[in-house]
Structure 1
Amino acid sequence: MRSTGSRYRVFTDEQWARIEPLLPSNQGRRGHPFGEHRRVVEGIAYRYRTGIRWRDLPREQFGPWQTVWKRHRRYAADGTWDRVLTQVLAEADAAGMIGWSVSVDATIARAHQHATNATRPDQDAGAGANHKKLPLTEVEPPGHGIGRSRGGLTTKIHHAVEGRGRPLATIVTGGQRNDGAVLAQVLAEIHVPRPGPGAARTRPEAVIADRAYATGVIRTELRRRRIRAVIPDKKDQIAARQRRGSRGGRPPAFDGQAYRGRNVVERYFALAKQWRGLATRYDKLAITYRAALTVCAILTWLRA
């Protein structure tokens, strides 16, 4: 295999050695075998890191652009990238590297005109990780995860990150979706297997979020799941309680010290958006855009 120049590389040799066994082999696959895994995966990362068109990928470094695109499209649809991230998370949890006070928030990515020339219903579901081995019609959300918000046609990225700001779960929706309405989906995507016997860990110790998540429904759901809510009240909720006096009830418990750690999710957004293909969405398909976010998350954990 021709080596990919260091200028184009994203993964170190040590990082690649950890994920290569997790990628599909050519065993049992009809047609041409999967070849030059690293060359292709480096091409996927390079495309999103630079934001160039697929057909502009340097052929001498990554081979035919069609091969790189098709491999990414295939891995996005069959859940390969999610399985790799799950294994990396399992190893990190076994090493005690995951802080289970989880910060949740969402950020907007402007959709480029190349991503918006498809029919989009008014409502869309989130593109999540529960799509392994399903046809495209079942894994691609209606509207392709693009909606009209104040910024125009946008995609909203919902992240849950652990205590040190490394991602645990990602959901992609249209930009018009309310942050709090997607929280249950985001938490449902947290799935960290334990080494040996035992159920996977899916419940954080605490959820830290801003006032966009300060609703009674969310607080009730977190209480039902025995998850501590670190969410400040909205100003109008505080005022309404004060107007009612003793009938207004007690304010919900709030840990101001723990809330100071919420900025880790904002810092991860800033880190992920250093990849130009994530800061602006060029993908027509929500599953391929979300898969690129997953590749970025994998690399973030490998660097840890």
Structure 2
Amino acid sequence: MRSTGSRYRVFTDEQWERIAPLLPSNEGQRGHPFGDNRRVVEGIAYRYRTGIPWRDLPREAFGPWQTVWKRHRRYAADGTWDRVLTHVLAEADAAGQIDWAVSVDATIARAHQHATNTTRPDQDTGAGANHKKLPLDEVEPPGHGIGRSRGGLTTKIHQVVDGRGRPLAAIVTGGQRNDGAVLTQVLAEIHVPRLGPGRARSRPGAVIADRAYAAGVIRTELRRRGITAVIPQKGDQVAARARRGRHGGRPPGFDAQAYRGRNVVERYFALVKQWRGLATRYDKLAITYRAAVTLCAILTWLRT
């Protein structure tokens, strides 16, 4: 079996040994068992890192491009990458490596014309791509997570990172989708099981976010869940309270020192967009694009 050349590799041997047992082998199912899984997965990562078309993957390094694409499509639909990330997060949590003062934000990626030549409504409803093992029409969001915003046809990655800037969860929506409206949905994607007894952790200690998340309903929801909101007020909210005088009530609590740590999510987006296939979206399907976002998250944790 030919091995992938070192110049094409994204995973180190140590990193691969950690995730290889978590990947399905197709044994006992219809069809041939999967061949060199590492070569194929390296091809998936290489394609998104470089942003080249699937057909241009070097055959001598990764084999037939159709095999690489089909494996990625399959892993995206059956939730393989989400299960791998969940396991990696569980190991990190057991080692006390997750900082549960999380930061939330979203970033825009321009959709290439190769991603937009599908039938879709003019405006995506904004529902995010998920990872549940369901038929495609139940998993794939309306409009394939592509919407029309100021930048044209765009997609948006809504991301939660821990206090050290490492990813915990992400969803993909149309680019016009309001950040704050998706906060509850992206927080619901946090799921970190215990390696021993006990329930999985899904509630952070604090949520640090910018003024796009400053709505009263968001503060109320976070308070209901026992999560500290570290979100500055918008200027019009401050002015409205001042106009009402003593009837305006007290301003919400705000930890300015903790808010200084919000930039970790911006730094993570800078890391994500080093992968050209994520900085520009070439995928027609939102689930395959989101699967690549998840693969990038896995690599981030493996490197730490």
Q: Which range, TM-score by smaller chain?
A: over 0.9
- 1:173 aligned partner: 173
Distance 1:220 1:173 in 2: 24
The letter for the 2-side match of 1:160 is: V
Counterparts of 2:247 and 2:119, CA distance in 1:
50
The aligned residue for residue 233 of structure 1 is: 233
Quote the Cα distance in structure 2 between the aligned partners of 1:106 and 1:124: 13
What is the CA–CA distance in structure 1 between the aligned matches of 2:211 and 2:37, rounded to whole Å? 44
Match of 2:289 in 1: 289
Cα distance between partner residues in 2 of 1:185 and 1:21: 30
How far apart are the structure 1 equivalents of 2:299 and 2:288? Answer: 17
Q: Deviations over 1:246-297 (max 9, x none)?
A: 0000000000000000000000000000000000000000000000000000
1:268 corresponds to which residue?
A: 268
Q: Name 2:150's counterpart in structure 1.
A: 150
Query: Does the 8 Å contact 2:10/2:45 carry over to 1?
Result: yes
TM-score by length of 1: 0.98
Cα displacement (A) at 1:156: 0.5
Q: Deviation digits for residues 178-229 of structure 1, max 9, x if unmatched?
A: 0000000100000000111111000000000000000000000000000000
Matching residue's letter, 1:11: F
Are 2:111 and 2:281, in contact at CA under 8 Å, matched by a contact in 1?
yes
- Which one of 112, 126, 129 corresponds to residue 127 of structure 1? 129
Aligned 8 A contact 2:222 2:228 in 1? yes
* Aligned 8 A contact 1:99 1:164 in 2: yes
1:95-114 aligned at under 5 Å gives the runs 95-114=95-114
CA distance in 2 between counterparts of 1:286 and 1:15 reads 27
CA distance in 1, matches of 2:46, 2:246: 60
Give the equivalent residue in structure 2 for 1:93.
Answer: 93
Question: What amino acid maps onto 2:107 in structure 1?
Answer: T
Where structure 1 has 5 or more consecutive residues not aligned to the other structure, the ranges are none
2:213 matched residue in structure 1: 213
Alignment partners' CA distance in 2, 1:163 and 1:169 = 13
Partner of 1:62: 62
Q: State the 1:27 CA deviation.
A: 2.1
- Output the CA distance in 2 between the equivalents of 1:193 and 1:203: 12
Cα distance between partner residues in 1 of 2:36 and 2:248: 65
d(CA) in 2 for partners of 1:249 and 1:280? 45
Q: Indicate if the aligned counterparts of 1:124 and 1:144 stay in contact, CA closer than 8 A.
A: no
Q: How many residues align?
A: 302
Instruction: Tell me, yes or no, if the aligned pair for 1:110 and 1:279 is still in contact at 8 Å.
Output: yes
Query: What is the distance in 1 between the residues matched to 2:102 and 2:28?
Result: 40
SS at match of 1:219: helix
- Structure 2 length normalisation: TM-score? 0.98
Name the CA distance, whole Å, in 1 between partners of 2:290 and 2:31.
28
Question: Is the 2:130–2:140 Cα contact (8 Å) retained in structure 1?
Answer: no
Distance 1:173 1:4 in 2: 34
In structure 1, C-alpha distance between the alignment counterparts of 2:29 and 2:40, rounded to whole Å:
18
Compute the RMSD of aligned alpha carbons. Answer: 0.6
